[in-house]
Chains A and B, each alone.
Chain A
């Protein structure tokens, strides 16, 4: 557990108002996702939209609630490029699953 990570100044810490606004935005996004679940869309497209919305929500949580936005930029560089790269590497398998569904239904 790292206690030495940037201790931030009062002014740059985010205000109660900004937290509340982020919370409301997150709730609106969630409601939109629930509505979207009841549209008749192809699973692949629906998955893309849902994950896209979730990535935006995750970014908001990380930036404001975990206040990465107010930390040193080097912390971001240490953690996230590697993380995003690893997750994208996992997506290499996805086209294969779409091929598999065609083979199964034929």
Chain B
């Protein structure tokens, strides 16, 4: 899992580098994110992911002590936070697409590449979150039935923390750098 994380973090850093390059090279880069709802939404999404990391750590901790019931409970809390992240993010996307008429190829504020980078980066991240939620559902189900060992939960935790870690870069770069002042 560590090797997967290393390679995946290179994928994300390449995407974010490309984004940053375009951002700095374009004087007309749009700043469309109003404080409400976009920045409040994305800040709350950050809170969700950070809290889900905490609950995941608690799950690994409980599993370390051999307490399977508690582990399942904490993993379910993690799934809840992860799911609400995806829900909020989709609401945000739909708002941008329907109300602000933003597509990957065009938008109303200038630099058309903004849409491509925004949907590309946040979309890839959201894919990771969705996969992580499915992964955690499987782990929670199996742990509840008495299968899987401590290491399996720990590995799922590593993946989940990595998803959180990537958002720590996506959030300031994509959202805060484009906040409407």
Seen from chain A, the residues whose Cβ lies within 8 Å of a Cβ on chain B are: 1-3, 5, 7, 10, 13-14, 16, 19-20, 23, 26-27, 30, 33-34, 36-38, 40, 43-44, 46-47, 50-51, 53-54, 57-58, 61-62, 64-66, 75, 78-79, 82-83, 86-87, 90-91, 93-94, 96-98, 100-101, 104-105
The stretch among B51-59, B88-96, B100-108, B125-133 that forms the contact with chain A is B51-59
Of all chain B residues, the one with the shortest Cβ separation from A78 is: B2
Does residue B61 face the partner (Cβ distance < 8 Å to A)?
yes
Interchain nearest-CB distance for B26 vs A (Å): 7
> Is A86 touching B39 in the complex (CB atoms < 8 A)?
no
A46 to B2, CA, bound (A): 31
Interchain nearest-CB distance for B73 vs A (Å): 15
A97 to B22, CA, bound (A): 7
Give the residues in chain B near A20, CB-CB below 8 Å.
54
> Is A65 touching B161 in the complex (CB atoms < 8 A)?
yes
> Is B179 touching A38 in the complex (CB atoms < 8 A)?
yes
Seen from chain B, the residues whose Cβ lies within 8 Å of a Cβ on chain A are: 1-4, 6, 9-10, 13-14, 17, 20-27, 39, 43, 46-47, 50-51, 53-54, 56-58, 61, 64, 149-152, 155, 157-158, 161-162, 164-165, 168-169, 171-173, 175-177, 179, 181
